[in-house]
Amino acid sequence: MKVLVTGASGLLGRTTARLLMARGDDVTVMQRRSAGLDCREVLGDVADPGAVDRAVRGQDAVLHLAAKVDVVGPRNEFEHANIRGTATLVSAARAASVERFVQVSSPSVAHTGRPLCGAGAEPADPVGARGHYSRTKAAAELLALAADAPGFAVLAVRPHLVWGPGDTQLVARLVSRARSGRLPVIGRGTALIDTTYVDDAAAALVAAVDACGPAAHGEALVVSGGDPRPVAEILGRVCRAAGVAPPRRHVPVPLALAAGRAVDLAWAATRRTDTPPLTHFLAEQLTTAHWFDQRRTRELLGWTPEVGLDAGFDALAAWYSRTETSEASS
């Protein structure tokens, strides 16, 4: 199968592209900077019609991961990458007679602040979702699903909190803050949260490409490891894998939420683009349960996690050990 993967410079996109290549698919990747993969590569902005047309030409399937992922930044930047980019890619894929389109979304598109306990893929909410990223990803998901039609099957897949070795988003930021003593536990740290090891998430996306068609289209599916753990346990195990002390300090929930709001206002007023120490969204995420019913996902995709959290944490610890050894010898 000829498959275009957008956003292959990120951890999940790169892992998924490698998995497709390993099984023999003819893979093209598209992103703004080189992903360093041994396959056809188109460099460009996913909202650029010319670059997108070159990328989709001759493809059987599109796996769309490219997005602006951040907790800060002007809304127009999120709209450009997440909404306009998706619209450009959908239009080009339909014009090029691509038959399968997998939109990689996020469970945050349906998170409006209340706990999600055993939830399915609830409707994306561009108004109620929290923050520019979630709202624009919600709009992009709805846009992609609206294009679902005979001959152009669309599936939206929402991987939840993907992590693993080499992760520069979730893992690296947690470890950096722990090393500097700036990683507290908010509240008691007992909220149950699903996460997904990167190899399992990539396998789910490959399964989505295969399943996307007459029997599986026009809906959203949440992907997770299906093994929710307390927030404090997740933070502690990430830190221990990296060889740093887990957080001991606890911050009351009301104080964290108020501090997050204050930080949001300060960053918006000064137009800062660096990552803030806390946001209201982050404080809410770390104190609100969100874990998901995986039955529909596994039924349609024929997929189950093979690595899981415990083996994933072992792999993360081994990666940090190798990294430290390599740095020490260089």
* pLDDT per residue as tens digits for the range 196-237: 999 999 999 999 999 999 989 999 999 999 999 999 999 999
- Written as one string, the DSSP assignment of 34-61 is ----SSEEEES-TT-HHHHHHHHTT-SE
Relative to beta strand 61-64, strand 290-292 is unpaired
Specify burial of residue 100 (Cβ count, 10 A radius: 0-12, 13-18, 19+).
Answer: buried
Note whether 162 and 201 are within 8 A (CB). yes
* pLDDT per residue as tens digits for the range 231-274: 999 999 999 999 998 888 888 888 877 877 887 777 777 777 77
* pLDDT per residue as tens digits for the range 62-94: 999 999 888 777 889 999 999 999 999 999 999
Residues 2-232+282-324, CATH architecture: 3-Layer(aba) Sandwich (3.40)
Distance CA 330, CA 298 (A): 45
Distance CA 190, CA 185 (A): 10
Active-site entry in 133, 267, 281, 320? 133
Is 320 an active-site residue? no
| Its pTM surpasses 0.85 | yes
Note whether 217 and 156 are within 8 A (CB). no
